[in-house]
Copies of this chain bind each other. A is one copy, B any other.
Amino acid sequence: MPFSSLPGSSGLEYAFHPRSMAVVGLSPDPHGTWLNQVYLQAPLDAGFRGPIYPVNLKGGHIGKHRVYPSLRDVPGPVDYVVSCVPAQHTPGLLEDCRAAGVKAVQLYTAGFSETGQGEGIDLQNRLLEIARKGRMRLIGPNCMGVYCPNSGMSFSLDFPREPGNVGFLCQSGGNTIYLIRSAAARGLRFSKGISFGNACDVNECDILEYLADDPETEVIAAYIEGTSDGRRLAGILAKTAPAKPVVIYKGGYTDAGHRAAASHTGAMAGSHEVWDGAIRQAGAIRVNSVEEMTDMLVALSKLKRPRGLNTCVVGIGGGASVIASDELEQAGLELPPIPVSIQERLQQIIPPAGGMLRNPIDAFPLTRLVLYRKAAGVGASASVARGDRGWGDFISLIEEWPDIDLVVFQFAFDIPPIPASSWVAATIEPTLAAAKMCRLPSVVVFHSIVTDASWQASQRMREICLTEGIPFFLSLRGAAQSIIRVVQGGKTG
């Protein structure tokens, strides 16, 4: 097979599951640089099982790791090389890689086609030429590389070690990191993540093809600034999206963003309309920010799919209820009034249940009941069980409300007049137990968080959701927008 026809995703397996790795250009300086954390400490911490060889002309040691003066001095075969050397030295390094039988090279350094200048473009072309001759795959240049929890590939100390179902490709290194952190904080985990920068060899099409066939990947997320082969991309999307949800964040969707993308990764960005059409036609889901992408992935991965948009909203406080109604309905959810038969039975649960007879339901009476029982020596959790008078009966009743497809439990942290430390645990913890008990598709929204006290309190509540597997969101609108798309079967809005 001639090198020019190297198939799209061939060799990518070596990038995700290399048996050994060399990192070239790390500084043996005892103070080190941050790159040592990124490309040596991160994979070590993530449990990379094969050897990792630091390489630097100066030799010496980084911590207890011997630094080899060149790739030729490394005492074993090397599948994968991370290059942190300056752009002008990369052709020499690639020749060394080729001689050593390396399968894939990731180039961290910038200074190539994204400069828009002849020198950088020529240099990048030279790299590709050497790679093709050596049947090596190139990732980048100008990228962060590969995250694969199953093989211990990582480039940030705080990425989760556990694998998951989301496959993520991203043209921007920074946005790769941001999305992984943002998603991880919401309980999502990744099969593979790859930052591919200038995409001189491995590109968005190759990775999409790989992830489409990857049994570990159930949902695909992509941040793309541009493509060199729109026709191929559209074809792959159309083939993939019906089988696995594909969420696409097209970076550079304005004129200024387009220009920034071009100078960031040298991407040919294409018009907003062309992208919109291609994504829509394929049945993929378009988002416009990392926040939106995170919400979408939570809804796709964590939420039981609701049959429709009829939503019962449960929370605390009148102002929060007005805000919740506006935000959720504006986004497209529907909040039907409570039928009289259900109202009557609600009143039997707690007699003075004024706030409970409309949708959104103000659950303050239920909360108070739990607090009273707690004060009377009955544990708060004892008030949240099916058949229990209180949350138990309440949840059973909501489940019987005809036509309700979804329950949104919403909490506004900075709305009550007393410090979060004095009410959050007592109020929200029982509600989370109720949310977990509910058989209808349910989500929790923690919102209106502006003070440090509320941030800290919300962190503890998020931990409970993570432990209990309750899907949660940090904005009402974000929750509604992504849930609606799940209901609509992944069609773009």
**Does A418 sit within 8 A of B, measured CB to CB?**
yes
- Contact between B414 and A326, CB atoms less than 8 A apart: no
- Contact between B259 and A319, CB atoms less than 8 A apart: no
Residues of B close to A423: CB separation below 8 A: 34
Of the listed stretches A89-97, A121-129, A261-269, A384-392, chain B binds A261-269
CA of A379 to CA of B116 in the docked complex: distance in angstroms? 36
**Does A412 sit within 8 A of B, measured CB to CB?**
yes
Q: Which 4 A-B pairs have the closest CB atoms?
A: A172-B319, A174-B319, A257-B326, A264-B318
Residues of B close to A178: CB separation below 8 A: 319, 412, 414-415, 448, 450
Of the listed stretches A3-11, A51-59, A328-336, chain B binds A328-336
- Residue among A257, A419, A453 facing the most chain B CB atoms (10 A cut-off): A257
- Contact between A326 and B417, CB atoms less than 8 A apart: no
Beta-carbon contacts under 8 Å, A176-229 to B: 176-178, 181-182, 185, 225
Encoded as 1 (CB less than 8 Å from any B CB) or 0, chain A from 104 to 117 comes to 00000011001100
With contact pairs A319-B173, A319-B264, A358-B263 given, residues A181 and B325 touching in the complex (Cβ less than 8 Å): no
- Contact between B158 and A322, CB atoms less than 8 A apart: no
**Does A378 sit within 8 A of B, measured CB to CB?**
no
Could you list 23 examples of A-B contacts with CB < 8 Å?
A115-B354, A157-B418, A158-B453, A172-B318, A173-B319, A174-B317, A174-B320, A177-B414, A177-B416, A177-B417, A178-B414, A178-B448, A181-B450, A251-B326, A255-B329, A256-B334, A257-B322, A257-B326, A257-B330, A260-B321, A263-B358, A289-B327, A452-B455
CA of A422 to CA of B35 in the docked complex: distance in angstroms? 13
- Contact between B329 and A257, CB atoms less than 8 A apart: yes
Nearest Cβ on chain B to A12's Cβ, whole angstroms: 22
CA of A94 to CA of B325 in the docked complex: distance in angstroms? 35
With contact pairs A260-B358, A322-B264 given, residues A451 and B253 touching in the complex (Cβ less than 8 Å): no
Nearest Cβ on chain B to A381's Cβ, whole angstroms: 22
- Contact between B155 and A322, CB atoms less than 8 A apart: no
Beta-carbon contacts under 8 Å, A146-164 to B: 155-158
CA of A256 to CA of B324 in the docked complex: distance in angstroms? 9
**Does A37 sit within 8 A of B, measured CB to CB?**
yes
- Contact between A335 and B174, CB atoms less than 8 A apart: no
Copies per complex of this chain:
2
**Does A459 sit within 8 A of B, measured CB to CB?**
yes
CA of A327 to CA of B455 in the docked complex: distance in angstroms? 25
Residues of B close to A290: CB separation below 8 A: 323, 448
CA of A216 to CA of B174 in the docked complex: distance in angstroms? 46
Residues of B close to A156: CB separation below 8 A: 417-418
- Contact between B254 and A326, CB atoms less than 8 A apart: yes
- Residue among A173, A176, A264, A329 facing the most chain B CB atoms (10 A cut-off): A264
**Does A175 sit within 8 A of B, measured CB to CB?**
yes
**Does A347 sit within 8 A of B, measured CB to CB?**
no
Nearest Cβ on chain B to A374's Cβ, whole angstroms: 13
CA of A389 to CA of B335 in the docked complex: distance in angstroms? 60
Residues of B close to A317: CB separation below 8 A: 174
- Contact between A174 and B260, CB atoms less than 8 A apart: no
- Contact between B38 and A418, CB atoms less than 8 A apart: yes
Residues of B close to A322: CB separation below 8 A: 172, 175, 225, 251-252, 257, 260-261, 264
Residues of B close to A325: CB separation below 8 A: 252, 254, 256-260
Closest B residue to A172 using CB positions: B319
Nearest Cβ on chain B to A484's Cβ, whole angstroms: 14
**Does A288 sit within 8 A of B, measured CB to CB?**
yes
CA of A264 to CA of B315 in the docked complex: distance in angstroms? 13
- Contact between B451 and A260, CB atoms less than 8 A apart: no
CA of A358 to CA of B114 in the docked complex: distance in angstroms? 12
**Does A337 sit within 8 A of B, measured CB to CB?**
yes
Closest B residue to A255 using CB positions: B329
A326 contact from B252, B319, B418, Cβ within 8 A:
B252
- Contact between B419 and A158, CB atoms less than 8 A apart: yes
**Does A245 sit within 8 A of B, measured CB to CB?**
no
Closest B residue to A333 using CB positions: B256
**Does A84 sit within 8 A of B, measured CB to CB?**
no
